[in-house]
Structure 1
Amino acid sequence: MPFAEDVTVIVGLAIVVGIVGTVVPVLPGTLLVGAAVLVWAVVVQTTAAWVTLAVVVLVLAVGQVLEYYLAARHMTSSGVPRRSLVIAGLAAIPGFFLVPVVGLVLFFVGALYLAELVRLPDRTVAWRSTVIALRAVGLAVLIELTSALLAGGVWLYAVLRA
């Protein structure tokens, strides 16, 4: 079945791109990993493929829940308001287009610091608050990367067992 083998290779490449996408904000990340495994399951059409898809979806869903729960908990326990994060997120959008690759991060950090500086006039306190928020964002990225790697590993295990 050469078509299924070709699809398997393409899906493997899409999973790698998805894993990279969890760190590089240009790519959709876990969404791409899940969609790639779905395409593979539809083409292969075996019980093992459907079970693999179910496990991958479960791993990615748990990762998303943990990502938002732990990052939000970290932020709220440290006192960083949602308003500052929304401002930073909105500023990151044009940053992505104005300064390719690094603009998203630069504009996010800069806007977050400025929003916190307006809220907390002391520069040291504002910077400390910014660092706390960045740690939470880093934690979220780490959780998403881990779930994408686990999902990719589940798929790879299924492919090698077939």
Structure 2
Amino acid sequence: MGAWGLLLVGLVIGLGLYGVLVPGVPGSWLVWAAVLWWALQDPQPVAWWVLVGATVLLFLSQVVRWALPPRRLRAGGVTHRTAVYAGAGAFLGFLLVPVVGAIPGFIGGVYLSERLRLGRHGEARAALRTAMRSGGSSVLAELFTCLLIAAAWLGAVLWG
């Protein structure tokens, strides 16, 4: 696969990561479809292993999401700005502390957004708890899975 094809796959994966944070967009399925397209265009063993791993991870993610409370983010007072801060925090955390940093980054992003909006620590902490209970944990599970898949794809492209 050429550079333009890889760039397009990367853009679709990025759109999928953004789609996880936006209600109504099938973000995780966009990530999986991009990896599938890449594996079909670049039939090397590493591409197929990344596709199999992505499929297993997404299946497990769906099982975990099914066990978590349903998404009622808007009812919990979660705004688009909060979702952007949470996604940016998870992405930065994933890069700064590989893999496990996404979880505190996501939570820190939600807290920062609520702290800026509400102004006080206690109120921001209460809003963070409400956001995580109203579906934030479900979003975090899906976003974490998609970040793992994106990292595996990027690692396979760069070193595979």
Q: Would you say same fold, with TM above 0.5?
A: yes
Q: In the alignment, residue 64 of structure 2 is paired with which amino acid?
A: L
Aligned-pair CA distance for 1:5 = 2.5
The structure 1 segments of at least 4 consecutive aligned residues displaced by more than 4 Å after TM superposition are 131-134
Q: TM-score, normalised by structure 2?
A: 0.59
SS in 2 for 1:71: coil
- Check if 1:150 corresponds to 2:154: no
- Check if 1:58 corresponds to 2:68: no
Distance in 1 of aligned mates of 2:132 and 2:49: 37
Q: Indicate the residue corresponding to 2:12 in structure 1.
A: 14
Of all paired residues, the percent bearing the same amino acid is 37
Distance in 1 of aligned mates of 2:3 and 2:43: 13
Listed as ranges, the gaps of 5+ residues in structure 2 are: 81-128
Is the Cα–Cα contact under 8 Å of residues 18 and 33 in structure 1 kept in the other structure? yes
Distance in 2 of aligned mates of 1:12 and 1:56: 15
Listed as ranges, the gaps of 5+ residues in structure 1 are: 73-84, 93-100, 103-130
Q: Indicate the residue corresponding to 2:40 in structure 1.
A: 42
Distance in 2 of aligned mates of 1:25 and 1:133: 15
- Check if 1:33 corresponds to 2:31: yes
Q: TM-score, normalised by structure 1?
A: 0.59
Aligned-pair CA distance for 1:132 = 6.2
Q: In the alignment, residue 36 of structure 1 is paired with which amino acid?
A: A
Aligned-pair CA distance for 1:7 = 1.4
Distance in 1 of aligned mates of 2:19 and 2:68: 20
Is the Cα–Cα contact under 8 Å of residues 4 and 44 in structure 1 kept in the other structure? no
Distance in 2 of aligned mates of 1:135 and 1:11: 33
Q: In the alignment, residue 150 of structure 1 is paired with which amino acid?
A: L
Aligned-pair CA distance for 1:139 = 0.9
SS in 1 for 2:23: coil
Is the Cα–Cα contact under 8 Å of residues 37 and 155 in structure 1 kept in the other structure? yes
Distance in 1 of aligned mates of 2:9 and 2:17: 12
SS in 2 for 1:22: helix
Instruction: Please tell me whether Structure 1 or Structure 2 has the larger radius of gyration of its CA atoms.
Output: 1
Distance in 1 of aligned mates of 2:42 and 2:62: 27
Over the aligned positions, Cα root-mean-square deviation in angstroms equals: 2.9
The answer to which structure has the higher helix fraction is 1
Aligned-pair CA distance for 1:26 = 4.4
